[in-house]
Amino acid sequence: MPDIPTALPDRVKVRALIKGRGYQIDGFARKIGFRPVTLYAITGRRARPTSLQVLRRLAAELSTPANPVKVSDICDWTGDDDIESGAEKIPA
């Protein structure tokens, strides 16, 4: 089974961005199609390694035209921030 790339989320920053958009954790999770427990795992007392697929989707949903959010803004990932909205690069 292949390894799933993960990163450690910045729980304080994610929580601040969600509240800055005028949402509570539960409401924002439902708005973007996540279960609230997923966002509580990211923003809780001890953030756990989270799949990059989830973090990319979260970054895309937290982004606004005036304030784009990259994956590296909300976690310790230093890789492919150029992938937009969870789309994966497909080799030619």
What is the tens place of the pLDDT at every residue in 8-50? 999 999 999 999 999 999 999 999 999 999 999 999 998 889 9
0.95 surpassed by pTM = no
Q: Answer whether residue 74 shows pLDDT above 90.
A: yes
AA identity, residue 39: L
Domains of the chain: 6-64 (1.10.260.40)
Mean pLDDT of the chain: 87
Residue 85 has a pLDDT of 47
Q: Answer whether residue 66 shows pLDDT above 80.
A: yes
Residue 86 has a pLDDT of 47
